[in-house]
Structure 1
Amino acid sequence: APEPAPARPLDLGKLLAARLQAARARPYLATALFALHPVASRRVPTMAVDRHWRCYAFPAFVDRTPVEELAAVWVHEVSHLLRDHHGRSDRVARERGLTGPGERLRMNIAADCEINDDAFGDGLPCPEGAVLPAGLGLPPGELMEDYLRQFRLGPATRDHVWLDCGSGADGLERAWDLGPDGAHGLSEQERDAVRFRVARGITARPGSAPRSWRRWAE
């Protein structure tokens, strides 16, 4: 029998070119984008982040996705980390008694609604399959915590059951996470410093960022 073809390595050049394009399209997020450390993983569906600012990328996803769309995914994933969706998910899970992977999927969907509402356009195409508030019949401009109260998993969300932006999006550890002691993770102080620098840049030049980012920076 013929040998199976070896798995293709991650096209890091393409992934980093996409990150540069993301930084050019969203200069106010550049500090955060360049703080992310890319990690090849065959266990992530597409791309995902952990709370230690690692960005896991599935090599086949990078291969088949145009650079412009990868740039949009970079912006999407770093937005989860800047907006502390993992910490907020943990908090809302405690406060509302939400347990189990289904609830964490709802948190990921709600967090995506918060981000994607005004993330695309102006040089970044909307990635295929992106969760948008309108697609769930939800109003624009709300926060993850608000969106969580407004939908349940069901027919409207069935297209998003594959969604997995990682533990950096919903706080639930994943099998592929390298963990706090793994290589290239940012410490809590380093993560706070990145958020501070991005927020300071936005408040210094508020005209460059959309309303949701100005709200976050305040």
Structure 2
Amino acid sequence: MNEHSPLRGADAVNERAALDRFASARLWAAAQAPYLASALFALTPLLHGTAPPRPAADEHWNLHLDPATTPAIPVPELGWWLLHQVGHLLRDHHARARPHQDDPLRWARAADAEVNDDLPGAPAGTISPETLGLPDGLLAERYAELLDLLDLPPRLLPCAEPPFTGPEATTALERELLARAVAAEIEARGTAPGGWRRWAEATLRPEVDWRILLARLVRRGLAQAAGRVDYSYRRPSRRAGAAPSIVLPALIRPLPRVAVLVDTSGSVPRTALEQALAELDGVLRAIGHRRLDVICCDTEAHPAQRVRAAAQVELVGGGGTDLRPGFEAAAPRADVLVVLTDGDTPWPERRPRPYVVTCLFGARHAAPAWSSTVRVAQEGSPG
């Protein structure tokens, strides 16, 4: 009998049958995905009559099972649901759901799509990128954005998320250590699906927050550009020439010019561009810049916009992608050039004159070696 079961007086036969079916399903699941075995055996079953018909886990790794329905679920199907729940737990979907509390159904569907992308053999009626008509390999946050554009049939319902009723099966530290152990196992085996491998990489080697990295790279570029001194008669030299009546120019260190090149092709989400522009605006204001010079580009460079705040930028364009005209337009007016793009563009063959910082959205493309690169994570995404 499960010592955590709140139904002490419930039908002992049903409880024993449910626990036996759970044990068999867990072994089946571990055989299908051995890199997840330690996570599967960290689940603590809770038997109670208010559990959903299918197994569902709370954020403390308690697995809620209905003793009346669980024995009738075939072992492979029950094992599939165990892998599904472990996918939610390891990806920390319960915590990532907090910014989406205004529409929990949309978030639950998006989280299911992220998990089931790497989980073949789904039972009928489950949600996946394929059933939603969306691309594979995205995070739940991006699926949630795309779901705003879809009119889904009511039959596509996500898995249930039971409230936490205790006890706390694992502590926060234990969950963190477990996640790192699973990630190490995934990396060591090298046979897990792509989504799990990406998760393991992010778990074992988390990236520096892109905002911090962006500020660091922009300041580095400004420092390098500021080293290019020039002569000016606006500030006469203190050293007198051979004749006292001759005024000599002094060396000055002008404030470097910063330009922003924005990829406004249809492949880059406008919300992501606005988020990065706002962050860049804050960085520049903190170091003394009071204006932004912004050039939008799809396949042509649109007229430059000089604005006082990122919110004033009008994102014009929306066709294909070729940022080379944008580089040509921006290079003469900038010492530091910040490029906002998903990277799906032809790049200049030669290194531009300005110091280039590229903010890349997504992980499918790369920037040239001559660019300092920042991978921009979407809001709410891990890493």
In structure 1, distance between residues paired with 2:22 and 2:51:
15
Runs ≥4 in structure 1, deviation > 3 angstroms? 152-155
Secondary structure of the residue aligned to 2:152 is: helix
> Who is 2:110 aligned against?
110
2:129 corresponds, among 108, 133, 148, to 133
Superposed, which structure 2 residues align to 1:47-86 within 5 Å? 47-86=55-94
User: 1:37 touches 1:184 (CA, 8 Å); kept in 2?
Assistant: no
> Who is 2:198 aligned against?
215
| Superposed displacement of residue 160, structure 1 | 3.0
| Superposed displacement of residue 193, structure 1 | 1.0
| TM-score, normalization by structure 2 | 0.46
User: Greater helix percent: which structure?
Assistant: 1
Distance change >3 Å, CA 150–CA 130, structure 1 → 2: same
> Who is 1:28 aligned against?
35
1:202 aligns with 2:186: yes
Superposed, which structure 2 residues align to 1:179-194 within 5 Å? 182-183=166-167, 185-194=169-178
Distance change >3 Å, CA 86–CA 141, structure 1 → 2: same
User: 2:113 touches 2:140 (CA, 8 Å); kept in 1?
Assistant: yes
In structure 2, distance between residues paired with 1:52 and 1:214:
24
| Superposed displacement of residue 128, structure 1 | 3.0
| Superposed displacement of residue 27, structure 1 | 0.3
User: Greater strand percent: which structure?
Assistant: 2
In structure 1, distance between residues paired with 2:160 and 2:41:
18
In structure 2, distance between residues paired with 1:183 and 1:43:
16
In structure 2, distance between residues paired with 1:74 and 1:202:
18
In structure 1, distance between residues paired with 2:160 and 2:143:
17
Please, what is the CA RMSD of the aligned residues? 2.0
The one-letter amino acid paired with 2:92 is D
User: 2:61 touches 2:170 (CA, 8 Å); kept in 1?
Assistant: yes
In structure 1, distance between residues paired with 2:134 and 2:69:
29
The one-letter amino acid paired with 1:58 is D
> Who is 2:161 aligned against?
166
The one-letter amino acid paired with 2:197 is R
Secondary structure of the residue aligned to 2:26 is: helix
1:9 aligns with 2:21: no
In structure 2, distance between residues paired with 1:36 and 1:23:
12
Structure 2 regions of 5+ residues with no counterpart?
1-9, 202-383
Aligned residues: 188
In structure 1, distance between residues paired with 2:167 and 2:93:
22
Percent identity, please: 39
Structure 1 regions of 5+ residues with no counterpart?
1-5, 168-173
In structure 1, distance between residues paired with 2:86 and 2:25:
13
**Largest Rg, 1 or 2:** 2
| Superposed displacement of residue 157, structure 1 | 4.0
| TM-score, normalization by structure 1 | 0.79
User: 1:77 touches 1:165 (CA, 8 Å); kept in 2?
Assistant: no
Note the alpha carbon deviations across 1:87-137, whole angstroms, 9 max, x for none: 1111x33xxxx42xxx112111101100111212xxxx3223211112122
The one-letter amino acid paired with 1:27 is P
User: 1:106 touches 1:153 (CA, 8 Å); kept in 2?
Assistant: no
> Who is 1:171 aligned against?
none
Note the alpha carbon deviations across 1:27-62, whole angstroms, 9 max, x for none: 000000000101113223221111110011122331
1:143 corresponds, among 135, 139, 151, to 139
Secondary structure of the residue aligned to 2:126 is: coil
| Superposed displacement of residue 154, structure 1 | 7.6
The one-letter amino acid paired with 1:193 is L
| Superposed displacement of residue 83, structure 1 | 0.5
User: 2:40 touches 2:86 (CA, 8 Å); kept in 1?
Assistant: yes
| Superposed displacement of residue 80, structure 1 | 0.3
